[in-house]
Amino acid sequence: MSKKNQANDVKKHDDDFYGGQRRQETDLGGGGGSGKSLWDAAREIAASREMAETLPTESNTVLFVGSRTGGKTTMILRYLERTNEAAKPTIALDYNYAKKPKTIDTIGKDIGHIWELGDGTSLTKLIDVVLTPETIGNASVALVLDLSQPQELWNTYQILYDTIAKRVKYCISEAAKQNPNIKEKLKESILKRLGSTIRPEKHDIEPLRIPLLIIGSKYDLFQTLEPDAKKSIIKTLRFLTYYHGATLMSYSEKQESVVHLKSMMNHFLFDTELSNKQPQIDYQKPLYVKSGSETPDQIGPPPIPEYDLGDLRENTPIAVWRAAFSKRFPQEAEQRDPSLTQDYGRDPQYADAAIDAMREQKMAELQRYLTMKNRSHS
């Protein structure tokens, strides 16, 4: 997939990129030596610079968002092969980077950036930190949905996807002021992902303008649901995958899921090619549907009886599926008891003597101020 350079995070080609900069010998006096002439040296330097300018030197970014406690951190650690680390709750934004595996033969992209948004749908404003006009041409999104909590699945998807889609649109608009070609490049990328059977202008779909991976997590717990419930959930995810031009996969600690995850991450971070594997939609096996590999006829109608489907008054495909899914699994708003919210400022893993002392001082000052204020009003 062709992508434009990032302004804030461009990998510079140093003198050692092409195996080291050799001292150029010149023959200015024509004394019959074996050195190169000044003009020959100049031509080689110019050709070398021209070649460097055509190499893909930008780095790619993947943003993980999704259900709280949906397993995002575990997936990232698994991909990075840091399996000896225990996953901890992500506070706000977490950053990791991946080095290109030696088995991948791509030029110019040695580092990939991985961001994770924590706390479910509560901190969506922080998406703006990762998706910017400078990074948007090289960004992808992994949307993790907890399959064991279908009563929260659609709400989580809706809040996060709508926020991301709005931000992507804004970033592309801003980036186009400096690079008018970015819209056409991203459009070409969309058409490539969708393949020859699907065209946005001929189908009632809304592809995300950057690559999207939908991951159904906690697949092991999902298997404990009733068969009819599992079929409904998978069918709905297949529709969302088709509607947004995404790729769909499930995740558990089973080997095949891990292989799919690594393949997708290498594709997003290092531009490797994905295999043309046939869709795997059997809910008893690891789920995998590559972007552009299914049509509405293959997916079928929303998973509710036809007599209920006829009662729906929505007039767009996404609204019909939302109504059908919510009828089958009434959605619950994400609610929190403030008293149960963890105070990360007192978490031992973030302890800092100077900062903690200042924090206690400020808290004491605040308490004195509140006490004096209450006395003045009494």
Residue 65 dihedral angles phi and psi, to the nearest 5°: -135, 165
Q: How far is CA 85 from the centre of its chain?
A: 22
Write out pLDDT tens, residues 84-115. Answer: 888 888 888 999 999 988 777 766 678 999 99
Give the C-alpha distances (Å, rounded to integers) separating 154 from 145, 225, 327. 9, 17, 11
pLDDT at position 74, please? Answer: 93
| Confidence (pLDDT) at 7 | 38
State residue 181's pLDDT score. Answer: 94
- Per-residue pLDDT at 89: 81
Regions of the chain short of the pLDDT cut 50: 1-34, 51-57, 337-341
pLDDT digits 0-9 by tens, 153-195? 999 999 999 999 999 999 999 999 999 999 999 999 999 998 8
- At 95, phi and psi to the nearest 5? -125, 140
> 246, 305, 259: which is closest to 286 by C-alpha?
259
Q: How far is CA 210 from CA 53, 163, 169, 185, 187, in A?
A: 24, 14, 10, 11, 9
**pLDDT of res. 22:** 35
Confirm if 214 and 264 have CB atoms less than 8 A apart.
no
Distance CA 169, CA 175 (A): 10
For 17, phi and psi rounded to 5 degrees? -60, -40
Average pLDDT, the chain: 80
pLDDT of residue 146: 96
User: Residues 236, 325: contact at Cβ < 8 Å?
Assistant: yes
Share of the chain above pLDDT 70, in %: 75
Nearest to 213 by CA among 179, 250, 168, 186: 250
Q: Which domains does the chain have, with CATH numbers?
A: 54-328 (3.40.50.300)
How many residues can be counted in the chain?
Answer: 378
Distances (CA, A) of 374 to 23, 345, 360, 364, 365: 78, 27, 21, 15, 14
From CA 26, how far away is CA 20, in angstroms rounded? 18
pTM of the model: 0.74
Helices (H), 127-180: 127-130, 150-178
